[in-house]
A and B are shown apart, each in its own frame.
Chain A
Amino acid sequence: MQATCSDYLIFDAENGVYVENPEQVVRDDVEKHHWLNVARTVVKDWRLYLMLVPMILVFLFWRYFPMYELLGCFKVTDPVKPVADQFYSGFSYFNTLIFGGTNPGLSAEFWRAFRNTFLLSFYGLVFGFPMPIIIALFFNEIRSNVARSIYQVITYLPKFMSTVVMTSLVMMLVKQGSQTSGMGILSQFLVAIGAVDEQTAFAGLLNNPSFFRGIYQISGIWETAGYDSIVFFAAIIAIAPTRYEAAQIDGAGKMAQMRYVVLPSILSTVVIMLITKIGTLLNIGYEKVLLLYNPKTYMTADVVSTFSQRNGIVGTSQGLASAAEMMNNVIGMLLVIGANTIARKASNTSLY
């Protein structure tokens, strides 16, 4: 803070003269040696800073170094040389991906992957988001604690299976038939109720592009709906019982109680969870897609991550793959930041 003249001189009423203000001298001294004092506290707290070092190093190594590797998307790929020694190729990879450039087929494939990424997430939002809320409302109806715990234990269970186990189960349940063995049990069930015709089911539902999205969403709901209801259920049981009683006295039926008591109480939680989901719209779990898809279903199943996995890890065009992921992740980051800003404005609680 800028000291003014009156800060330095104070009027000494006894002698009738102005004298120097000793407090301001101390203040000046502190300000002059600010960084020295800061350095002293840092040295005194050296143990605290030492504790921080390993974590910082890990994040630097495994999260920030890859961002440096990301620069490869501006450079000519030469796997022999490190990124630093490669030539800049400007935006040629971006040009190829977005406008086709030298390889229109690749561009079409990229846009297909981008569209699939968005659609898988979007359908996940539309169909997957309301499910945990509905389940939490149902949990609230069960008054017996034992019964509710049993239901909760069972419905949270699929969440704890690994992606590999979960996808293996899905693949076995809808597997194709052959001369020596029949099709999966779920396929049979679907044929029996007439949801799919027998030939399609026999060829394997996961070999059919028009079923991939459905299988992906339903298995996603199966996996997470129970577990995701935890947060909504916590919001619902926090509602004071007196509010239901007041509503009942006013003559509210069950639906009216839902409408005027439960819904307003959990609205802020719902809004925050929704905004979080929108923020992660493009960060789709690539592991699940990678394990479930096959060349026959690329049409609807191929997402940006798997597109770059095919090109950059299985194939050798790492610059191109990095460029594809860069676009996806930058848009993803803008969505997260935008969602966070809206959350802060809307509810005074930021997510991060």
Chain B
Amino acid sequence: MKRRLEISELVFKIISYTLLTVFAICCLYPFIYTISASISGREAVEYNRLVLLPKDIQFDAFSETFNDNMFWNSYTNTLFLTFYGTIWEVGLSILGAYALSKKRLLFRKGFNFFLVFTMWFSAGMVPQYLNYINTKQVFNAMGIMDDKWLVVIAMGMAAMNIILLRNSFEGVPSEIEEAAIVDGATEMQVLWRVYIPMSKSIIATVSLFFGISRWNGYFWARQMINNSNEYPLMVFIRRRLEDYTDPDFTAGWSNLHPTYATDSAIYALIICSIVPILIIYPFIQKYFAKGVNAGGVKG
């Protein structure tokens, strides 16, 4: 009896380890292949001679990318959009969520519904596009020709993140707030000195959600920005990919760049775009798990 039990446990354990390892390899392999292909020689990539490790190592694809002004330009633009966009969204979300977390707020249910309704029903892509075009005209009429600031403020915030913050603020004991008020704190001081320090981890989580979506944003940036100097990284990568897979564009490639293939150029670009995320990823990963669990069911 006891013996049979152990065997079933063991079999299940072996199956879990095997399948998880297979899945983990599937998750990791494309990235390793990308790195190898970006530093392999032209013929090795074009005739698919490499499977895992690089062959005929060259770094010309990377140096070409690093010498590309457009690339650094787009990098700067993405950093700009991510930095200001995250500050804008987190700041407004904290203020709004704090107000919504107060039971004494008049029409509290109404304001909540106002937020939640946007999660149920979205006007859709084309009406949003028309709205952006109209706003852009207003911006241009005001003399602001820089589309970057429009992209920073134009993305409506995700209602889900505000609700996450609101729930976290509601969990702060009201006695602490009352004590602060007795000590003569204003509303802003209560928020700044009591609520924000007490919800640090959920604020970090929400900031990361906002930041990652900004860093990864593609579609609206492409629709709203006309000037190619203002393209963020993702738009730049996509345009390069479209160029490099176009036979007309790559016709004279082997004469111009004898050492590496077009594919290597694309792979090098992809690596450059994911390196910052890979560096901070191990540190932020636990916050994401926290956010998912906090936002899973409550609302």
Residues of chain A having any CB pair with chain B under 8 Å: 38, 41-42, 45, 47-49, 51-52, 54-56, 58-59, 61-70, 72, 82-83, 135, 137-139, 141-142, 151-158, 160-165, 168-169, 171-173, 175, 178, 180-183, 185, 188, 222, 225-227, 230-231, 234, 248, 251, 253-255, 269, 272-273, 283, 286-287, 290-291, 305, 308-309, 312-313, 318, 321-322, 325-326, 328-330, 332-333, 336-337, 349-352
Which A residues lie within 8 Å of B92 (CB)?
54-55, 58
Q: Does B285 contact A (CB under 8 A)?
A: yes
Cβ distance B197 to chain A, nearest Cβ, rounded Å: 18
Which B residues lie within 8 Å of A272 (CB)?
296-297
Q: Does B174 contact A (CB under 8 A)?
A: no
Contact A231 B123 (CB under 8 A): no
Which A residues lie within 8 Å of B125 (CB)?
286, 305, 308-309, 312-313, 321, 325
From A62, A66, A135, A181, B45 is in contact (CB under 8 Å) with A181
From A41, A182, A230, B47 is in contact (CB under 8 Å) with A182
Contact A254 B8 (CB under 8 A): yes
Against A, the Cβ 8 Å flags (1 = close, 0 = not) of B129-160 are: 11100110000000000000000011111010
What 16 additional pairs, Cβ within 8 angstroms, besides A63-B156, A69-B128? A48-B105, A59-B156, A61-B135, A61-B156, A66-B127, A82-B134, A138-B20, A155-B23, A156-B288, A165-B237, A181-B48, A182-B46, A185-B33, A286-B219, A308-B124, A328-B124
Contact A329 B27 (CB under 8 A): no
Residue of B nearest to A175 (CB): B245
Contact B99 A51 (CB under 8 A): yes
Contact B187 A47 (CB under 8 A): yes
Residue of A nearest to B20 (CB): A138
Which B residues lie within 8 Å of A162 (CB)?
215-218, 234, 273
Contact B187 A65 (CB under 8 A): no
Cβ distance A142 to chain B, nearest Cβ, rounded Å: 7
Q: Does B183 contact A (CB under 8 A)?
A: no
Which B residues lie within 8 Å of A165 (CB)?
216, 234, 237, 270, 273-274
Which B residues lie within 8 Å of A45 (CB)?
104-105, 187
Which A residues lie within 8 Å of B234 (CB)?
162, 164-165
Which B residues lie within 8 Å of A62 (CB)?
128, 131, 154-156
In the assembled complex, the Cα of A346 lies from the Cα of B253 at a distance in Å of 62
Q: Does B118 contact A (CB under 8 A)?
A: yes
From B31, B114, B129, B130, A56 is in contact (CB under 8 Å) with B114
Against A, the Cβ 8 Å flags (1 = close, 0 = not) of B55-92 are: 00000000000000000000000000000000000001
In the assembled complex, the Cα of A83 lies from the Cα of B123 at a distance in Å of 15
A325 with B8: in contact, given A59-B118, A142-B17, A352-B119 (CB under 8 Å)? no
* Chain B contact residue count (CB 8 A cutoff): 102
Which B residues lie within 8 Å of A253 (CB)?
4-5, 8-9
Contact B9 A321 (CB under 8 A): no
Contact B12 A318 (CB under 8 A): no
Cβ distance A150 to chain B, nearest Cβ, rounded Å: 8
A326 with B124: in contact, given A41-B104, A59-B118, A65-B131 (CB under 8 Å)? yes
Contact B95 A54 (CB under 8 A): yes
In the assembled complex, the Cα of A328 lies from the Cα of B47 at a distance in Å of 45
Q: Does B255 contact A (CB under 8 A)?
A: no
Which B residues lie within 8 Å of A157 (CB)?
27-28, 31, 281
A163 with B124: in contact, given A182-B47, A313-B223 (CB under 8 Å)? no
Cβ distance A114 to chain B, nearest Cβ, rounded Å: 14
Q: Does B266 contact A (CB under 8 A)?
A: yes
In the assembled complex, the Cα of A349 lies from the Cα of B299 at a distance in Å of 9
In the assembled complex, the Cα of A182 lies from the Cα of B114 at a distance in Å of 54
A351 with B129: in contact, given A175-B245, A251-B1, A290-B219 (CB under 8 Å)? no
Contact B126 A325 (CB under 8 A): yes
Contact B128 A66 (CB under 8 A): yes
Contact A336 B270 (CB under 8 A): no
**What are 8 A-B interface contacts by the 8 Å CB criterion?**
A63-B156, A66-B127, A157-B281, A169-B34, A181-B261, A182-B48, A231-B296, A352-B119
Contact B30 A169 (CB under 8 A): yes
7 residue pairs, one from A and one from B, having the closest CB atoms = A55-B96, A162-B216, A325-B124, A62-B156, A66-B123, A312-B126, A69-B127
A160 with B46: in contact, given A135-B23, A168-B237, A175-B245 (CB under 8 Å)? no
Most chain B CB within 10 A, of A58, A283, A309, is at: A58
Residue of B nearest to A157 (CB): B27
Contact B130 A72 (CB under 8 A): yes
Contact A48 B102 (CB under 8 A): yes
From A172, A312, A321, B263 is in contact (CB under 8 Å) with A172
In the assembled complex, the Cα of A261 lies from the Cα of B154 at a distance in Å of 49
Contact A329 B5 (CB under 8 A): no
In the assembled complex, the Cα of A226 lies from the Cα of B22 at a distance in Å of 13
Cβ distance B285 to chain A, nearest Cβ, rounded Å: 6
Q: Does B238 contact A (CB under 8 A)?
A: yes
From A52, A155, A287, A325, B95 is in contact (CB under 8 Å) with A52
Which A residues lie within 8 Å of B187 (CB)?
45, 47-48, 51
